[in-house]
Amino acid sequence: MPDPSRNDTSDELVLEGLIVTSDADGSPRISPMGPIVDRGLTRFRLRPFQSSKTYQNLRRDSYCVFHIVDDSELLARAAVGRLDRTPPMSRTSRDTGWVLDDCCRWFELRVDEIDDSQQRVEIRCNVVNQGSRRDFFGWNRAKHAVLEAAILATRIGILPAGQIRAELARLQSAVEKTAGKQERQAMGFLREYIEVQLDSGSS
C-alpha cells in the first residue's frame, strides 16, 4: 500500500548543507547540496545534476551522509571545488559513509529511488542513522551572505556577469557589518574566485 506521507509536500523546504559520497576508490567526496526535506528531517530528496560526481557516486554506491554545518569557509570552498585540505572525518558505524568531525548534525542516507529522466536527478533517500557533533552556532547575516555568494559562484556562465557582480556587492555589505574572521575569509575567497572566473571569460 502506498505511503501517503511520501506525497505530502505541504511543509517541505530546501535545507543547505554538505554531502559526503564515496568515489570509486573509496575516498570521500565533499559537495554542497540543498535537499528537499520535511521539517522532521525524516525524508530527503537529493537533486544533483546527471553530470555531477555526486550523482555518479550515488548511482554506484547507495549510501551518503548529509551534514548541517555552520563553517562558512568550508561551505564556500566545497561549493566551487577548491578545498585546500580534506577536513577530518570518520567512518559511520555501518562503515558505509563518512561523517565530518566538525559538523552540527549528520544524517546517513540510503538511496531508495532514483528518477534520472531529467538532467536534474531526483533521489529519494531513507535516513538509516543520524547524530549530533555540536550545537549550531546560530543565525548570522554574514554566514547567510557567504552561502548566497557560494551559490552565485556556481552560477557563473548561467547568469550575466553584471548581475553576479551587483549581487556580490550587495552581499558584501552584510559581511562588512556582521562578519567574524571566518566569514570575512570565506567571502574574500569567493570574491577572488568569482572575479578570476569572470575575467577569464567563464561568463
Q: Give the domains, in start order, of the chain with CATH numbers.
A: 6-132 (2.30.110.10), 141-199 (1.20.58.290)
Confidence of residue 201 (pLDDT cuts 50, 70, 90): confident
What's the pTM? Answer: 0.91
Tell me the residue ranges of DSSP E strands in the chain: 12-14, 17-22, 28-33, 36-38, 43-46, 63-68, 89-91, 98-100, 105-115, 122-132
Q: Which residue has the cell 559520497?
A: 21
Helix (H, G, I), strand (E, B) or coil at 117: coil
Q: What is the mean pLDDT of the chain?
A: 94
Element containing residue 33 per DSSP (H, E): strand 28-33
Burial tier of 3 (Cβ tally within 10 Å: 0-12, 13-18, 19+)? exposed
What is the secondary structure of 40-68 as a DSSP string? TS-EEEE--BTTSHHHHHHHH--EEEEEE
Q: Which residue has the cell 566569514?
A: 183
pLDDT per position as a tens digit, 125-179:
999 999 999 999 999 999 999 999 999 999 999 999 999 999 999 999 999 999 9
pLDDT over 90 percentage in the chain: 91
CB 83 within 8 A of CB 73: no
